């Protein structure tokens, strides 16, 4: 399951770090110099040590590093740039300051990108070498009709696609729960006007009940109006809607 954009992780502070190749050709994160529990103005320097390297059932599909801070007496997980706690996919491309959704392939934005094109998950592709489970034959036939045959990815169920779309709509304030105060914060962070955000929300139900497609289309049109958003801005949006703790730095 991709749990990365879901409202359950507000209290989990986390770090992010760049992965560099060591002499042994293995990638590992650079050790952070500050822990996420160090408050602004705290004059005590952190003493960070590596506690563990853990296999994860969720999160990026490789072991991730857990560090501790002797000064602030906490452990914290360090995620690669672009990832959020427990997220299987990138929330944003590292180093990119782009606003066009189509460039966000292979992130959580896959869900609305497919949604805009009426492509419903699952998108299942089996290499010809493997015997295929009979129950998926029907789905494969369905995909042929939608010209997605041969797409070499398994992107999760329709439920997952809808969850990712709803999560992204929530990040950008185009959901029922965003009140004026939240919209103001989102507007400050994204540079989008509150009017733009409200329009995008109204657009979702203009032609009938809100669907995965209408939400995707409104998300795309809203994103086309953003300017140069960065990973840190995305992380702050997530913190604002309680998806994860605020990120420092
Ligand atoms: Zn510390």
- Strongest mean pLDDT among 3-12, 103-112, 137-146: 103-112
Ranking 54-68, 156-170, 228-242 by mean pLDDT, the lowest is 54-68
The number of residues in the chain equals: 249
pLDDT for 141: 47
Distance of CA 16 from the midpoint of ligand 1 (Å)? 14
> How many angstroms does the Cα of residue 21 sit away from the middle of ligand 1?
25
User: Ligand 1 centre and the CA of 65: distance in Å?
Assistant: 16
pLDDT at 92: 81
Give me ligand 1 centre to Cα 62, in Å: 25
Give me the mean pLDDT over the 168-173 stretch: 94
Q: Calculate how far, in angstroms, residue 42's C-alpha sits from the geometric centre of ligand 1.
A: 9
CA of 40 to the centre of ligand 1 (A): 11
Percent of the chain with pLDDT over 70: 76
Identify the pLDDT of residue 103. Answer: 66
User: 222 phi and psi, to 5 degrees?
Assistant: -70, -45
Please tell me what DSSP assigns to residue 75: E
pLDDT band for position 27 (50/70/90)? confident
What confidence tier does 57 reach under pLDDT thresholds 50, 70, 90?
low
At 157 the pLDDT is: 84
148, 169, 151: which is closest to 212 by C-alpha?
Answer: 169
Look at residues 56, 73, 72 and name the one whose alpha carbon lies nearest to residue 64.
56
- Distance (Å) from CA 236 to ligand 1 centroid: 21
Q: pLDDT tier at 165 (50, 70, 90 boundaries)?
A: very high
Sign of the torsion angle spanned by Cα atoms 185, 189, 192, 197:
negative
> Exposed, middle or buried, 66 (CB in 10 Å: 0-12/13-18/19+)?
middle
Decide: 22 and 28 in contact? Cβ < 8 Å.
yes
Averaged over 181-203, what is the pLDDT? Answer: 95
Span 186-201, mean pLDDT? 95
pLDDT for 198: 96
Domain boundaries, the chain: 14-80, 101-121+157-229
User: Tokens 């958003």 map to which residue?
Assistant: 229
Asked if the model's pLDDT at residue 101 lies above 50, the reply is: yes
Strands 74-80 and 64-69: antiparallel
Lowest mean pLDDT among 4-8, 16-20, 99-103, 139-143: 139-143
Residues 183-191 have a mean pLDDT of 95
Is the per-residue pLDDT at 72 higher than 80? yes
Q: Is 56 a residue whose pLDDT tops 90?
A: no
């Amino acid at each position: 399951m991709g749990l990365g954009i879901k409202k359950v992780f507000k209290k989990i502070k986390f770090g992010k770090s760049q992965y560099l190749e060591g002499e042994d050709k293995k990638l590992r994160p650079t050790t952070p110099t500050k822990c996420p529990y160090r408050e602004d103005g705290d004059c005590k320097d952190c003493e960070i040590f590596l506690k563990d390297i853990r296999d994860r059932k969720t999160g990026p599909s490789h072991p991730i590093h857990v560090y501790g801070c002797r000064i602030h007496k906490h452990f914290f997980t360090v995620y690669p740039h672009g990832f959020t706690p427990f997220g299987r996919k990138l929330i944003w491309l590292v180093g990119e300051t782009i606003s066009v959704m189509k460039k966000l392939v292979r992130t959580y934005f896959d869900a609305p990108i497919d949604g805009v094109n009426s492509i419903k998950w699952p998108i299942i592709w089996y290499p010809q070498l493997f015997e295929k489970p009979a129950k998926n034959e029907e789905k494969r036939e369905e995909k042929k009709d939608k010209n997605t045959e041969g797409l070499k990815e398994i992107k999760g169920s329709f439920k997952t696609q809808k969850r990712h779309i709803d999560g992204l709509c929530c990040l950008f304030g185009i959901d029922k729960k965003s009140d004026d105060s939240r919209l103001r914060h989102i507007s400050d962070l994204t540079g989008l006007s509150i009017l733009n955000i409200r329009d995008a929300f109204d657009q979702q139900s203009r032609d009938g009940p809100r669907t995965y497609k209408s939400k995707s289309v409104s998300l795309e049109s809203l994103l086309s109006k953003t300017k140069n958003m960065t990973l840190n801005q995305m992380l702050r949006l997530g913190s604002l809607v309680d998806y994860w703790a605020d990120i420092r730095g």
